[in-house]
Amino acid sequence: MSELYNREKHLQSRLNNFIKHGFDLPELDYYSKLELDGFLKLKSTLSDINNIITLKVSLAFSHWISKKFELSEKSDRELCSQILRTKPNANGFDLELIEPIKVVAEVKCNVPINGGDVYGSAQRNGIAKDIDSLVNGKSKSPINSKDCFKFMVFLDRPEIRKATAHFIKNMKDHKELISVIDKTTGQMSTDKIYVTFVSF
């Protein structure tokens, strides 16, 4: 007879396994050691995880941009510095570069929901909104995106590549402007939105 599902035991096991393997710690019942205050502090700390991943993807993309456009080491450092000075969820594009080239980028760290390879409705809406902003600009950004090289940046994972391909295939607006960067991508145009995948 199969064991009945126990919600608390399931959550307890997941938390304990993550802490043990994620931090290479001894096998203990960390779940039972946490009181309410501990869980609340953990929740507050983990709420920044998406911002951390976005930051790391943004920095990796800045190095990719520097290499792709053959920018100087000084320009690469300045771009990284700009990213580090920008607060999470600040107005404007996730990445804005004016000199020596004009670049705007939106960084998406969405992972397809439920372990699948298709984005959920809210995720699709967020990506579509960012693409529209790259095309039409943002009212709270001083940069005219029409004059810029435009990028949608995603984390490079197989399920994210599949979900993004599915999203692009089923796009309703701006589909003709989308170009996924691969080894065959040559000279770029400010008329296109380039989808690229980076890892860190």
CA distance 154 to 199: 9
pLDDT of residue 1: 59
pLDDT of residue 176: 93
pLDDT of residue 102: 92
Q: Find how far residue 21's CA is from the centre of its chain.
A: 24
Tokens 């943004």, residue located: 58
pTM greater than 0.75: yes
How many angstroms separate the Cα of 155 from the Cα of each of 11, 55, 56, 109?
Answer: 27, 11, 10, 6
pLDDT of residue 4: 86
| 127: nearest Cα among 77, 166, 78, 176 | 166
Query: 123-140 pLDDT, tens per residue?
Result: 999 999 999 999 999 888
Query: 67-99 pLDDT, tens per residue?
Result: 999 999 998 898 899 899 988 877 889 888 888
pLDDT of residue 34: 92
Q: Domains of the chain: which residue ranges? A: 7-46, 49-198
Q: How confident is the model at residue 3 (pLDDT cuts 50, 70, 90)?
A: confident
Local structure of residue 143 (DSSP, 8 states): S
CA distance 134 to 149: 9
Top pLDDT among 32 and 92 is at 32
Mean pLDDT of all residues in 19-41: 93
Q: Which amino acid is at 150?
A: K
